[in-house]
Amino acid sequence: MEEITGFLKLALITATPIALGAYAGILSERAGVVNIAIEGMMLTGALVAQLTAMYLYAPLQAAGIPAAEIASLCLGVIAGILAGALLGGLHSITSIRFKADQIISGTVINLLAWGMTGWIYQRWMTATAPTAPGTFPRIPIPGLRQIPVLGDLLFNHQPIVYTMLLLTGVIHYVLFYTPWGLHVRSVGEHPRAADTVGINVERVRYISTIVGGAIAGLAGVWLTLEQVGSFTLRMSAGRGFIALAAMIFGRWTPLGAFGTSLLFGLGTALQIRAASLASASAGLAMIPTQLYQAIPYLLTIIVLAGFGGKATPPAASGQPYEK
Amino acid sequence: MSASLSPLPALSHPALEAVEITKRFSGVVANDAVSFSLEPGEIHVLLGENGAGKSTLMNILYGLQKPDQGEIWVGGKAVRLDGPKDAIQQGVVMVHQHFMLVPVFTVLENIVLGVEQTRGQWGQLGVLERAKPARQIQALADQLSLQVDLNAKVGELPVGVQQKVEIIKALYRGARILILDEPTAVLTPTEATELFELLRRLTQQGLSIVLITHKLKECLAIADRISVMRQGKMVGTVYPQQASESLLAEMMVGRKVILQVEKPLMQAGAPVLQTRRLVVWDDRHQPAVNGVDLTVCAGEILGIAGVQGNGQTELSEALTGLRSPAQGQIDILGQDQTGASPRQLIEQGLAHVPEDRGKNGIVKTYSLADNAVLCTYYQPPFAKKGLIRPGAIARQATQLIQEFDIRPANPRVLAGSLSGGNQQKLIMARELSRGAKLLIACQPTRGVDIGAIELIHRRIIAARNQGMGVLLISSELDEILALSDRIAVMYQGKVLETLAIAEATRERLGCLMAGMVQS
Ligand SMILES: Nc1ncnc2c1ncn2[C@@H]1O[C@H](COP(=O)(O)OP(=O)(O)O)[C@@H](O)[C@H]1O
Ligand SMILES: [Mg+2]
């Protein structure tokens, strides 16, 4: 039992950046902007968060701030989110204002992120770098934590996991139960119809894409400040693209994307536990570990090949709006 | 007698007025100092050919586009419109030619879009109110005796109903002035009559209505006044009582127009096209054509009448090799050609004027000359030993330009830069220059100026007189009646009935187009 809960919990944790990335994609695509730069936004968010936390930790300690560790981590989170939002802004300016091809704009942002993070990492985050504050502690929710099984599974996590769970509901509510959501979806389906009833198409697209970028940045923050505690090159490792698969398989809905992300989370959990599984049984040991590592990516291909074609994206996604 | 004929009280202001509006698009003057005035309670028809500038003028009055010069007055006050929101605030609402409805939204969501009500204090992030607007909309619909299901997805509704949704949407926004851009283009004659009755009821409730059209008959039937635009200029305003179809046509085109084509009697020859129990699927694998039997003989024109979207497109695609039929057989010139490729069919003697000329009729980025030999470029004299011979192609193009009066008369211009009418003349020229035996012409005059319509109609009749068999697919009833020897009416993928031209009346065709078969 303990084994299984542990496994599920690991799945939920590793699903977090994928779900967040998928929400980022949902927000911008629902408004009609295709965003394949989630990978780059994640990577940048991860780096900027780590860099900020790292370089503020010592000064904050020196200034005698009580919980300097947590304070620097929180400032890191804010910086990572802002970095994602900034790239979201860049993507929206090229796609909306300059009507560039959104796939190309997204690709350029990904390349930019790979290059820039690599350079900054080499320059400021290797040997001579100050000590990092580590990762966020778990915050058990009083009361709820005590529920058997579920308590540990759901209410004993680090903050970004909670944020992801919360955002699932919030985005679902905003998209499907509010006027703003109606505007976002109308702009993604039929921008001219939205325009003729007085909705500012460009404004809605800007806001959606930038908020999406911020969420993608947060997904990146999870990597450094919640998971690893340090930055490594290209550490997002394709999660931004897996997130897009989760978005598509989840039919551009937060609940669907959350479910799919959990599936990917299970795949990743399997990969992480592969070593211990292999030592447990001689039969499983036959399977090369590389195969386990390929599980999330194989899942992505299967999901996209098997179901991608049947899902219909928002009708106007990818198309610049011409008055 | 209509109200607007009596002298108006001196103090009443026009409901809506455009004063000397000028609007240029790179190179084109879409509106050239155009003035227009709408009196309270009238139905004012704005008439003009495609490209005359009607939509541009109305887009400006609705705040969708900004004029380069000129003023807009509503109810006697000059207003500034920075967007549709401002126009809506002034009570001006426009129903566009292509409906502005989100197909995946429900009727209710479409109607409240942009003017939502919420519960709570969170503004646009508050809970979208549905029950209250639903009651208000239902009351509006009842008042006009319109029936709509507020929870239906708009994309699943017939176009006639979608149009009603557009009108309710306008009224829900408090419209006092309603602008309708080509509202009858997608309707059956019966639906059009219903729409006109609805518009009358609305004017009785005090609304003023601008209705854009290029159809002369309906314009005379519904208008209190008619304003005519030509090439960006306002030509004049007349009362229907003083106007006739030929007068209006002359105002639209700027010269005398012959609306009737001469058509000598012909003895039909052997069948050139026969289909047997033809079934064709649409893109969603639904049978769009569902068991159609047709025969077209040499020297006759078979017209296919019907409202758009009743399988005509899929039928023409199957007959021209662009879509494989799911079942049934197609015989051309007595040979089974089911599933043949377009090139095989062309070489067998098929000529095709496609429905979407920009997509399937010409290559916009090729020159006029290259487009003139698109079907024959690989045959002598245009190619020899595998090499293209530009000289021969240019000579052919020059000859076709002359014969079909294509302008500009320059074989080297890009086909995409020609006007719609000249593109269509180019396609007709190419298709009729190859000695084909069967012509499949789909919407041959859609979006084409009256001058080109005259020429295209004369050419189709001439081809038929020379023994060509013609299948004419058109949603313009006037065109079908003017050209056809026999008329088949398509409804939901089936041919309901085939009538000889002598027994085909407008009323009878109208009923058939709406799916009503006389018992
Ligand atoms: N957005 C636009 N950009 C460039 N040219 C345009 C635009 N809208 C209209 N035009 C041009 O202005 C002229 C008038 O068009 P329009 O008002 O749509 O005519 P109508 O509605 O009478 O058919 C046409 O020559 C058209 O090509
Ligand atoms: Mg128009």
Interface predicted TM-score (ipTM): 0.89
Find out whether the beta carbon of B25 lies less than 6 Å from any atom of ligand 1: yes
Domain membership of residue A61 (yes or no) is yes
Question: How far, in Å, from the CA of B55 to the mean position of ligand 1?
Answer: 7
At residue B228, the pLDDT reads 95
At residue B419, the pLDDT reads 82
Question: How far, in Å, from the CA of B25 to the mean position of ligand 1?
Answer: 8
Q: What total number of domains does chain A contain?
A: 1
Domain membership of residue A145 (yes or no) is no
Question: How far, in Å, from the CA of A112 to the mean position of ligand 1?
Answer: 41
Q: What angle do CA A22, A27, A29 make, to 5 degrees?
A: 90
Task: Tell which of A183, A196, A199, A207 to mutate to test the B interface (max B CBs under 10 Å).
Answer: A196
In angstroms, what separates the C-alpha of B129 from chain A's closest C-alpha?
9
How far is the C-alpha of B493 from the C-alpha of B327, rounded, in Å? 13
Domain membership of residue A321 (yes or no) is no
- Measured by CA distance, the residue closest to atom 18 of ligand 1 is B55
At residue A291, the pLDDT reads 79
A101 lies within 8 A of chain B by CB: no
Size of interface A-B (CB pairs under 8 A): 78
- Measured by CA distance, the residue closest to atom 24 of ligand 1 is B51
Read off the pLDDT of residues A30-67 as tens digits, 9 standing for 90 and up: 999 999 999 999 999 999 999 999 999 999 999 988 88
Chain A residues whose beta carbon lies within 8 Å of the beta carbon of residue B126: 178-179
Read off the pLDDT of residues A80-98 as tens digits, 9 standing for 90 and up: 999 999 999 999 999 999 9
Chain A residues whose beta carbon lies within 8 Å of the beta carbon of residue B119: none
**Topology annotation, domain B12-91+176-250:** Rossmann fold (3.40.50)
How far is the C-alpha of B15 from the C-alpha of B38, rounded, in Å? 6
Over range A270-289, report the average pLDDT. 73
Find out whether the beta carbon of B30 lies less than 6 Å from any atom of ligand 1: yes
Whats the size of chain A, residue-wise?
A: 323
A190–B102 C-beta distance less than 8 A: yes
Q: What angle do CA B30, B33, B34 make, to 5 degrees?
A: 75
Level-2 CATH architecture, domain B271-513: 3-Layer(aba) Sandwich (3.40)
Give me the helix-helix angle, B506-513 and B189-204, nearest 10°.
90
B84–A197 C-beta distance less than 8 A: yes
Integer Rg of chain B from CA: 25
B119 lies within 8 A of chain A by CB: no
Over range A111-116, report the average pLDDT. 96
pLDDT reading at A228 higher than 80: yes
**Would the CA dihedral through B292, B293, B297, B302 be positive or negative?**
negative
Instruction: State the DSSP string of B412-447.
Output: TSBGGGS-HHHHHHHHHHHHHTT--SEEEEESTTTT
Q: What angle do CA A229, A233, A239 make, to 5 degrees?
A: 80
Instruction: Give the pLDDT band of residue A309 (cuts 50, 70, 90).
Output: low
Read off the pLDDT of residues A185-198 as tens digits, 9 standing for 90 and up: 999 999 999 999 99
At residue B6, the pLDDT reads 45
- Measured by CA distance, the residue closest to atom 6 of ligand 1 is B25
How far is the C-alpha of B517 from the C-alpha of A157, rounded, in Å? 70
Integer distance in angstroms from the first to the last C-alpha of chain A? 60
Fold match between domain B12-91+176-250 and domain B271-513: yes
A315–B126 C-beta distance less than 8 A: no
Chain A residues whose beta carbon lies within 8 Å of the beta carbon of residue B85: 198
How far is the C-alpha of B8 from the C-alpha of A38, rounded, in Å? 64
Chain B residues whose beta carbon lies within 8 Å of the beta carbon of residue A189: 102-105
Distance of CA B308 to the CA centre of its chain: 9
How far is the C-alpha of B367 from the C-alpha of B416, rounded, in Å? 8
Burial of A304 (0-12, 13-18, 19+ CB in 10 A): middle
Residues of A160-172 as b/e, b for ≥16 C-beta within 10 angstroms? bbebbbebbeebb
Domain membership of residue A147 (yes or no) is no
Find out whether the beta carbon of B50 lies less than 6 Å from any atom of ligand 1: yes
* Structure-block tokens of residue B289: 């054509």
At residue B512, the pLDDT reads 92
Nearest to A179 among B83, B85, B116 (CB): B116
Domain membership of residue A320 (yes or no) is no
- Supply the mean pLDDT for chain A: 91
A186–B105 C-beta distance less than 8 A: yes
Closest CA to B74 of B208, B170, B213: B208
Q: Which domain holds residue A283?
A: 2-138+155-310
- Show me where the domains of chain B are located: 12-91+176-250, 103-174, 271-513
Closest CA to B188 of B519, B518, B517, B512: B512
Q: Do residues B442 and B355 touch, judged by C-beta distance below 8 A?
A: yes
Domain membership of residue A223 (yes or no) is yes
A323 lies within 8 A of chain B by CB: yes
At residue B2, the pLDDT reads 40
pLDDT reading at A152 higher than 80: yes
A251 lies within 8 A of chain B by CB: no
Q: Do residues B46 and B58 touch, judged by C-beta distance below 8 A?
A: yes
Find out whether the beta carbon of B470 lies less than 6 Å from any atom of ligand 1: no
Find out whether the beta carbon of B378 lies less than 6 Å from any atom of ligand 1: no
Find out whether the beta carbon of B53 lies less than 6 Å from any atom of ligand 1: yes
Domain membership of residue A262 (yes or no) is yes
Task: Tell which of B88, B104, B169 to mutate to test the A interface (max A CBs under 10 Å).
Answer: B104
B127–A177 C-beta distance less than 8 A: yes
What string of pLDDT tens digits covers the 519 residues of chain B?
344 444 444 457 899 999 999 999 887 899 999 999 999 999 999 999 878 899 999 999 999 999 999 999 999 899 999 989 899 999 999 998 888 999 999 999 999 999 999 988 888 999 999 999 999 999 999 988 888 899 999 998 888 889 999 999 999 999 999 999 988 877 777 788 889 999 999 999 899 999 998 888 888 989 999 999 998 999 999 999 999 988 998 998 888 777 677 888 888 899 999 999 999 998 878 899 999 999 999 999 999 999 888 999 999 999 999 999 999 999 999 999 999 999 999 999 999 999 988 889 999 999 999 999 999 999 989 999 989 999 999 999 999 999 999 988 899 999 988 888 899 999 999 999 999 999 999 999 987 888 888 899 999 999 999 999 999 999 888 899 999 999 999 999 999 999 999 999 988 998 899 888 865
Instruction: Give the pLDDT band of residue A268 (cuts 50, 70, 90).
Output: confident
Chain B residues whose beta carbon lies within 8 Å of the beta carbon of residue A186: 102, 105, 113
* Structure-block tokens of residue A289: 């570990």
Look up tokens 């314009």; give the residue. Answer: B219
A195–B124 C-beta distance less than 8 A: no
At residue B10, the pLDDT reads 47
- Cα A79 to Cα A50, A155, B487: the distances in Å are 9, 26, 71
Domain membership of residue A70 (yes or no) is yes
* Residue list, CB under 5 A from ion ligand 2: B 55
A199–B114 C-beta distance less than 8 A: yes
Integer Rg of chain A from CA: 20
Pairing of strands B233-238, B225-230: antiparallel
How far is the C-alpha of B271 from the C-alpha of A291, rounded, in Å? 66
A186–B126 C-beta distance less than 8 A: no
Task: Tell which of B113, B115, B165, B178 to mutate to test the A interface (max A CBs under 10 Å).
Answer: B113
